[in-house]
Structure 1
């Protein structure tokens, strides 16, 4: 992006004139939803009075704007794309991008060769920004995009030290609340089925599980933790192993709703009643959670809000690439149904 001419009004000056934040000005410029009409008029008046020309518009006039953003899915296992999470978050992001007038391009990146190919595609000016999802701990693509100065926002993060902009849910707090609910019900032998160990989201949900038990003075037994991969089949297998080794288990936190659905199958096959014998809680609150038998108590992620926040951060980075990265963590909510 070229430098502004001396004396050219800045985004900050427009924000100050309108009495709003820089992000609000960016949303008005990009015609995003969620801005009050009175605020929108104030920003538009400030733009007119100052003669401000948005950088994105200047890029478009110069023929260097693609008017498109890429949604990149980095999951190497094709089977994962059948899981509800992908369709739900793609829908949420698609709705959020639709309000901006930009084109959303869906891209799959699963290997080093595909990473390099996508990097060259993005650097070639074919997209203005990148939304990344399903990123594992050792994935270098966010670093490659950052080095290329490509505006990028992650869904979740690779570690606690993530420096690329991201939007995440409070996975630790959500898991802690779920296990606390099981403890309040009088459950004392509580197991968990995790997600993949190389994904920070799974690590956070496992940490919340341990924190809740430690706060109650119980402490989780290592053998009460079974690793899954967020799929239904992994939940079924893990639950079968857990109840075979520890028949005293009376509560389970599964790292996703699909994992919990598999756990319910294994419990039913073993003759265990839910919730009478074993209470089960999932994570996500997909439509699936209302169709299981019994309907699933779960931790709701605000997927629509996550989608809007990711697109908002990306638009801000596209407008002002020099600003520092941003980190947003959104609250979760425990939704009570019959399984716990």
Structure 2
């Protein structure tokens, strides 16, 4: 550090502030220190830094999902990209932990109890998930990605799931659809519950009753099987809202197999607006939630808490992206 300061022609304090990415350093001094760092090949010692700052220099993103499911789901990939994009602006390193198994949960417990991280981001916490109890027990900052099933945590980032579901139903009703069904997600996830609430609320306001509700587990195969059950019970279904895009893609396959034209016979709306929605056949009308922004704000909130701030919870807005599976309403 002394050599860097001498090469840059600044004080050791100024050099330390630049290297630790502390604000309120002049642009000229910052440029001089960064140039000296490059020229000298200076690399901070993480152990020494941890001892000096009493911080681990890392944060954990823990996801309650098994490995195959996680990496097959573009939603979590987008969240992780968002988290990483913010942490790139800081000195915090990201530790990704899959905590669906007892071993994964025990590993997280050890990390938290030994303070080998500065904070925790939790995703996909289910109703009876031990992750929620771990979050309550630790004295480290914890930010939730999405609300848990019970209680309201101090810090969380979520999307407007109920409002988004209402947008989907309102669009289908404006298009003249009257026999509307829903394919729901996992019943122990708050996002799935909120989207079903939004679906039912919107129908109630229009004086309609659901033509059917079937669980799809947030997977394409689950969505396809749910669509099969709905068609068997109510062949007159003319509109479907699926609680995520994967289930909507499965519904499209089932409808095609039964000779139902989309959108002429049955209109379909999903939720997420991931890349797969654009390349569906036909391209999928879906509720857009800012998934990458959710990850970014999750990391931003945790970094703020680590710095001693007390940010307010954040609910990100959703909007409808209209494509061919439920086209714009004419007139």
1:287 to 256, 275, 284: 275
- Aligned partner of 1:254 in structure 2 is 242
Give the match's secondary structure for 1:126: coil
TM-score, normalisation: structure 2: 0.81
Counterpart contact for 1:123–1:150, Cα < 8 Å: no
Q: CA deviation at 1:116?
A: 2.9
- Aligned partner of 2:313 in structure 1 is 327
Distance 1:89 1:154 in 2: 12
Distance 2:19 2:186 in 1: 40
Deviation per CA, 1:284-309, whole angstroms, max 9, x where unpaired?
00000000000000001112321221
Give the match's secondary structure for 2:115: helix
Distance 1:68 1:174 in 2: 34
Counterpart contact for 1:75–1:135, Cα < 8 Å: no
- Aligned partner of 2:110 in structure 1 is 120
Distance 1:119 1:326 in 2: 26
Give the match's secondary structure for 1:252: strand
TM-score, normalisation: structure 1: 0.79
Q: CA deviation at 1:102?
A: 1.4
Q: CA deviation at 1:61?
A: 5.3
Q: CA deviation at 1:87?
A: 1.4
Provide the alpha-carbon RMSD of the alignment. Answer: 2.5
Q: CA deviation at 1:314?
A: 0.3
Q: CA deviation at 1:122?
A: 2.4
Q: CA deviation at 1:125?
A: 2.6
Give the match's secondary structure for 1:125: coil
Distance 1:220 1:245 in 2: 12
Q: CA deviation at 1:143?
A: 3.1
Q: CA deviation at 1:77?
A: 7.3
Which runs of 5 or more residues in structure 2 are unaligned? 1-17, 28-47, 327-331
- Aligned partner of 2:324 in structure 1 is 338
Paired residues, number? 289
| Higher Rg of the two aligned structures | 2
Q: CA deviation at 1:208?
A: 0.5
Distance 2:167 2:99 in 1: 35
2:223 to 226, 235, 238: 235
Residues 31 and 292 of structure 1: CA distance in aligned 2, closer, same or farther (over 3 Å): farther
